[in-house]
Structure 1
């Protein structure tokens, strides 16, 4: 990956928005939508939506060829596999075999190739830049995450109704919430109301 900067602005079903930093770009990608009850959060409706997401920082992978419908389908399959394995790891369950296979298949494709500018001040991606290469890069990041020293730091938000997953890369390893401004503050507010209700 080009940078350690992660995080995206997400929309809440209640109409608001909040910044969520999953701590890894592959986990940020896992929160772009989903299946079943999570379909209401879908942001990748068309191939162009995927191209736009990949072109944003920190990836900044601007496609040199249009994203195809087939690549969008592959991207959504990888997204679900990342989601499933992240939740399994967070719960300390065995990783789903099918999801692992999907991640490995995506990672087997040639990844993005970093390219240094002549003045050595910035890094871009060597052309061609195709969606399959970016998906391979994301899959490889997930493999490194699941097999590396931070695998035990993959967690689900501590809120009882928030399924968002993140990797806690903070030094103390004490992160509990997807975002303090969302679930963290809601928890504090509920705790305050409970204390006030029980105070004499």
Structure 2
């Protein structure tokens, strides 16, 4: 769920956890969307499904800064890939640096039917998981399906996982409907 600072919210599925993470805020004009203000905010986001990584070691201010650096690198890489531009070396290095940390370790629960993450669970491990997912995304078969919303004023990126590969909008109920409404109004204006 994304919240607009002007009011309202909408459901948005970026198609990959790392891209969902890239939409948690940003720098410059995207600072109004910031959701990771303090270490506890990062811990809360990581504890939410689908990752559900409840931190057993408190998130530090340094880890929050590292998370924001990774988030920016994922954002930049996704936009570069969507535009079919080369990804800058610094962006690649930031993703690789985060991926180099030890990953989360899955652990089967005592009931034998559910799983969680083996303790200790640290933010760096969760960030590593997202960086590794971004590496797989950029180097795998879905790389060509990383797209930016077709709306002129929407910078959201997503992986088009639809069967025909024809997804154009971040969310049909947001940008898709706005586009349809503008097209309808334009047709009605020409009919007058």
Which TM-score applies when normalising by structure 1?
A: 0.94
Query: Mind listing any 5+ residue stretches in structure 1 that lack a counterpart?
Result: 1-8
Structure 1 residue aligned with 2:115? 123
Structure 1 residue aligned with 2:26? 34
Structure 1 residue aligned with 2:93? 101
Alignment of 1:65-104 (within 5 A): 65-104=57-96
May I ask how many residue pairs the two structures share in their alignment? 192
Structure 2 residue aligned with 1:142? 134
Match for 1:52 among 44, 54, 74?
Answer: 44
Match for 1:156 among 141, 148, 162?
Answer: 148
Which digits, 9 at most, give the CA deviation of each residue in 1:161-189, with x for residues without a partner?
10100001111111100001110110011
Match for 1:174 among 146, 160, 166?
Answer: 166
Task: State the shift of 1:14 in Å.
Answer: 2.1
Task: State the shift of 1:50 in Å.
Answer: 0.2
Which digits, 9 at most, give the CA deviation of each residue in 1:98-150, with x for residues without a partner?
11000000000100011122333222111110000000000000000000000
Counterparts of 2:44 and 2:149, CA distance in 1: 27
1:23 aligns with 2:15: yes
Counterparts of 2:126 and 2:88, CA distance in 1: 23
1:195 aligns with 2:191: no
Counterparts of 2:114 and 2:160, CA distance in 1: 28
1:11 aligns with 2:3: yes
Q: Which 10-residue stretch deviates more, 114-123 or 38-47? A: 114-123
